[in-house]
Chain A
Amino acid sequence: MEQASFPWLMRIKGRVLIFGIAMSIFPLLFLGLANFNATRLYLQERIQQQNFERATGLAEQISEFVVKKAESLSIVTYTNASTLVGQDQIAREMILAKLLRQESYFEAIEVADSNFNVIGQIDRRNVILPQKSDFQLKHRDLTEDASFSVSPVFFSNDGRPQFYLTVGIQDPLTRKNIGYLQAKTDLKGMVTKITNLRIGQAGYIYLTDEQGELIGHTDFSHVLRQENVRQNPDVQAFLAGQRPSPQGIDYTNPDGLQVIGLFAPVENLSWGVFIEQPIREAYQPIYEFSRKLLGILLVAIALVTLISIMFGLKLTRPIEKLEGEVRRIILTGDLKSEIPKQSQDEIGRLVQSFNQLLTATNRDLLAEVKEGRFRQDLYYRLNGLILEVPPLRERREDIFPLVDFYLQKFRSPGPERYLYSLSPETQKLLLNYDFPGNVRELAHLIQRGVTLANGQVIFPVDLWPNSHLEQKLIDDGIPLYHQTGSINGYPTLEDIERDYILETLKTANGNRAQAAKMLGISVRNLYRKLDQYGR
């Protein structure tokens, strides 16, 4: 079949569907992408801002921690100044022991006189040997205007970062400096406590001193390994004195992991707090968002596509139906059938126009082709199967059964439903009539006769009122009406001419060119005359 090779995309249905789907997918994708980009930026900013706030908060906590430890030392010096620098060794050691017991982050405490000579000490791990006279405090940088000092961070034998925290001992009366109290403070416990804050599943916090040396980490093993973090871009930014920013830096950490890092300096200590979070994990909410958004988009696209398909099918179904009907007519050659009109829209009007076209072309197409009034290629296109039904004039035996049929059909209106009959003259006329309009003309004639008949008998004049045949009927002695007398006369030349032309046309089997030749007139002239006769 020809239809089999007709590409689906070239069909209206295909085009409508493609258009519908495209128009639904593209705006959704565009809006989805725009929304995704905006949300991704927002989430990135939010995650970085959150980490920056954490880093800043931790830096404050570390600073406060050191200040508090210094304060706890200072309180001891305020209340025990004279004992700490006095001669009572046992009393001094008791104060130090109590302080060490209370402050779990202190590893060792030393008391020195105003010349930094150590006069008392206590230590958790190292043996305290009898003091030598020249034994002095290891870190001696407390200035007069500072309430405490913090030494550079150093590492114990077992790898723990520590620093010396020193406060002055003032004479309660004179306010003069009479000594120093110095605590070796362990950073591990403090940093572990602070860095235990969870940064997602794989994020971590670390702390460096002013040299960029790692002194604290969520995973303390990094500190014990003395991991070098100085090359990290955020550490370099910190060491270069750059201002901290919520805008993180993306880089590869020493473990080869892509991370986003940012930092916050610890006030008064020259240390830096750093937060690094693997990019993959930090942006997990973004990936999750995009995954879910994509899912929603796909569902929306599927729904809109489905709706497009439904509307596409609804729109093209009448066209397909019309096409099917036309195809059926072509296949069956049933040009008399009509295509049912199912809607009032453009398609309905198209069906109506097609039906009118069908009616108008209900002619002997072969003859029309021969006459050049119908396209030959179209004729052969339509000429799939022809069931030839001869015209009524060639099967006059069917005239009266058809007359009976139509008389039954067009019975009088109202409750009486009279059945009409034909006068013998009418019957004779009909039997001799050519019926150029075929069965349909017979039906119209009977309908007209029923309508115009005065009684229940139909006379010739009821069939052809005001017709020029009237004279012929009179001439033939055929009563036009139900009358007692008859009207006789001679036919006009025009009547004879018309009858002759029609007879010749009949002899030529309706072939007007042949009839014109037989008549010795031009085809054009024949057409003009036939027009005059209303043919």
Chain B
Amino acid sequence: MESSLWAFLVSVPAEKQSVAKIGILLVNDNRLAKIEGLKEGLERLGYNEGHNITYQVLNGQNQISELSTIAKRLITDRPDVLVAAGGIEAQTLKELTATMENPIPVVFMGTLSPMSIGLVSDPFHPEGSLTGLNNYHLELTPKRLELLHRLLPEIRHVAVLGDTRVPYFQQTQFNIQETAKELSLTLGMYTVSTHDEVAKAFHQMSKDKIEGVILMPVFFLETSTKQVVELAIQNKLPVFGVYPSDTEEGCLASYGTSYKAQGAQTAQLVHKIIRGQRPKDLPIETPEELVFSVNLRTAQQLGVHLTPNVLSFADQVI
């Protein structure tokens, strides 16, 4: 009786939570896993869909030219936080919110180096109303080359498959060239922006006696993994991808953070903004988890033998 009275007297009533509105923009279904991760992450932080959080997801279905129109619709509904599934979505939302008097905070769920693609200039003090996760995929490109080299030490000629439309391509070339030089590898740069160009690029690689391929983390290749894998198997070329899903689709290996993990980590930033923090006070984060994934079935198809010491480093082996 006494203790219950005491408990009553000192108990603090639960804070009444308002319902947070999250507007999510994604360019295609590939990035749905990020939304899944985001929702799971927010659920762990106490957000239950329909109860204290609602999501409005607008999908561009690969129509990049329509993304801006879709984004405007999203903004019209004035969500508390705008979430960009990737770099293209983040660029679109940044442009649209830049002119707003009270810009809606934008959080991106993993993009390539946000400094390189012009989202922010200082990752520790992001200007404007943007913050998010640097998925580190650009920075890891030299590391992928190293891992490919260590998995297949006999390889000497490596192709880098990229997209010249991506602004950081030149910078990446410099970084990867440095690494290649240290590892005594020669690199061939191949850029593609259509499926035909992919086929042509592989044809050219055969001519150039390319022994392995590194995929650059670009949007077009994310949507063309299946074609790349088919061509690689046909040409007996080991391909080192970016996402664990690339390995699942048939790449020999990949090194990076998964879509889902990116979404889950971004949930923390979304949570902070819901609680009233400003994007400029939330430095850009880097992934907490990197996954080295190897596909032994592909290795078998290619007829290559992977070094056991590097294989033992793999987090996922298919």
Contact = CB atoms under 8 A, between A and B. Distances in A.
B146 A43 contact: no
A97 B136 contact: no
A491 B288 CA distance: 142
Given A219-B272, A221-B272, A221-B282, A128 B10 contact: no
Interface stretch (A118-126, A383-391, A462-470): A118-126
Nearest to A224: B283
B200 interface: no
A447 B13 CA distance: 84
Contacts of A224: 124, 283-285
A127 B142 contact: yes
A292 interface: yes
B15 interface: yes
Contact of A201 (B11, B15, B310): B15
A229 to B, nearest CB: 15
A309 to B, nearest CB: 28
B146 A127 contact: yes
Contacts of A12: none
Chain B interface mostly helix, strand, loop or mixed?
loop
B182 A285 contact: no
A292 B282 contact: no
A97 B145 CA distance: 18
A159 B124 contact: yes
Contacts of A219: 272
Nearest to A157: B139
A160 B312 CA distance: 26
B308 A90 contact: yes
B53 to A, nearest CB: 18
A404 to B, nearest CB: 79
A483 B286 CA distance: 144
Give the size range of A's interface with the partner.
35 or more
B34 to A, nearest CB: 20
A94, A100, A189: residue with the most chain B Cβ atoms closer than 10 Å: A94
Contacts of A284: 12
Contacts, number: 89
A130 B182 contact: yes
Contact of B288 (A130, A189, A221): A189
Interface in A209-226: 219-221, 224-226
Interface string A122-138: 10111111100000000
Nearest to B282: A221
Contacts of A221: 272, 277, 281-283
Contacts of A43: 10
B203 to A, nearest CB: 30
A194 interface: no
A201 B146 CA distance: 46
Contacts of A125: 136, 139-140, 143, 290
Contacts of B13: 288
A248 B261 CA distance: 39
Interface string A245-261: 00000000000000000
Contacts of B281: 221, 225
A124 B285 contact: no
Contact of A101 (B179, B282, B309, B315): B315
Interface of B: 8-13, 15, 123-125, 134, 136, 139-140, 142-143, 145-146, 179, 182-183, 268, 272, 277, 281-286, 288-290, 307-310, 312-315
List 5 A-B pairs, minimum CB-CB distance, nearest first: A97-B313, A224-B283, A93-B309, A285-B10, A158-B286
